[in-house]
Structure 1
Amino acid sequence: MQIIPSPNLTPYIKHYLFLDLMDFHNGLFRTFADGNTGIVFCLGEGALYKDGIKLPKVFCYGQITDYRVLETTGTLRLIIAVFKPFGMSSILHTPAGELKNKIIDLESVIDNSVSTIYEALCETVSNLEIAKNLNDYFSILLQKREVHMFSMIAAATNWIAERNGLFKAEELIHFTGYSQRTIERTFHNLVGLAPKKLGGIIRLHHFLGEVRGTGNKYNFTPKVFDSGYFDQAHMIREFRKITGLTPTTYHVKSKRLAVNVIVLPDENIQL
């Protein structure tokens, strides 16, 4: 389930995602890059692990460039604030480049107000009420922040998304009116990815959406060229680089909790 944040937060937060993780086979699931960052609240008696290490009850994750295999034990509910590419660094006032491919305890990034919001979420049953609590929490954090170059980065990332990740460097320079060096530096600080890398992830998700809409789980060829890939081999290579899977495994053999959160049979997990 997804809930859209309050209007003052929509420039920064894409949605709140609610995932109920019960005891599914070996507890392993996979998440891969979608160009967004997030803050995760782990509610319930269960726990979440990465590489055998228990993750904090509340953590933030930066941009990832490939995929992660996570493990859950017991009954666990994840509440994820999914930020737009530049959103989390804008609200937390933390350089996005420092969070790239990292999972960090949120309390080490901000302050002990994390425990207050966590306890409030644990005591709340309704998803709408949880969303309201998160809106209040992030609105307070937002009041403390002023982000230099926010307008440019917001416009640039939207422009890239509207083009489904397909663009040339000189086109982005012309659109923003800034030099390539300024654009690259701003993307590093606020997004955590270079424009072209973000574009590649957006292109993959556009392809996923196009294939999902056809109802054909096996014949991907018609959408390969439409999505800007040179040929099917190019698409499969990029697909595996980001997801660790082939398109067929993703569409046919996996159970999707979200577009980029999937549960796989034991034999398909690649650690």
Structure 2
Amino acid sequence: MRVFQPVRIVALALVAAGCGLLAHAGAASARTQVAITGGVTPTITGFPTKPKNVKLTIAGRMIGDDVEGVFPATTTKIVWWFTHGARVNGRYFRHCDPRRLAAARGNPSACPRASRIGGGWVVATAISVTARVRIDIYNGKGGKSMIFYFQTLRPVVVNDMLVAPFQTLKGGRHGFKLTMRIPDGLQELAPGMVTSVREFTATVGGMTTTARIGRRREKRGFIETMACPPGALVTARGEFSFRTISPITVDSYLGCGQAPPFPPEFPRSQLGSS
């Protein structure tokens, strides 16, 4: 069973170059740029006889001057594509009802504890106000979706949710697809107060459950793989759509054990600054 199809790296420069496969918006006046990276942990050495439980982290940074001549364009949709080989076992895990989560305004008690499959954060700016927004990620019914809840109280109030369909693909270059349509409330916090995503990171997996497989009960990880040796790379693609500019597609790599670095022109976002 081949999992993640890792690609051996030769030098750190190649890692940086792989991560640096960023894309520019098509319009000549549009300057939004995106870079993505991430990692799979822990690494797997030797030749395991059973798939191993792992975590997947995705991170991205955006720069540009499409909003107020300073910030990236407003994101409307992100589609993630991942390589073949991994086993995603969402169907064996408990799920969260998005209606209950929305009614509880993101309170984790609205969902079974075992349904939370990850989390992260996003840094976004609206009219020069920059906020770090918490993300909680829950398993959708049957493992066919992932529920992202966004929440912060300072310096602005954010309480919003998106339900992202998750598909296992057959054939072709990619094995999995996750489609995130950004809610209007996250694109525009108030009339005319459009939002620019600056940076984000999200980690999914690492937890296990015991499920009935045929006549036996077996322990399963949310994401499992047979191979991810130290120093290997895993392909990933992000397709970003925006309000006012052409879509951007980024092909990059996730590292086994350590995320490739961002290119130097993509610095970390600072809260309270533009």
Q: By percentage of residues, which structure has more helix? A: 1
> One fold, TM greater than 0.5?
no
Q: Could you state the TM-score of these two structures normalised by the residue count of structure 2?
A: 0.24
Higher normalized contact order (CA 8 Å, seq sep 6+, divided by chain length) = 2
Q: Could you state the TM-score of these two structures normalised by the residue count of structure 1?
A: 0.25
Q: By percentage of residues, which structure has more strand? A: 2
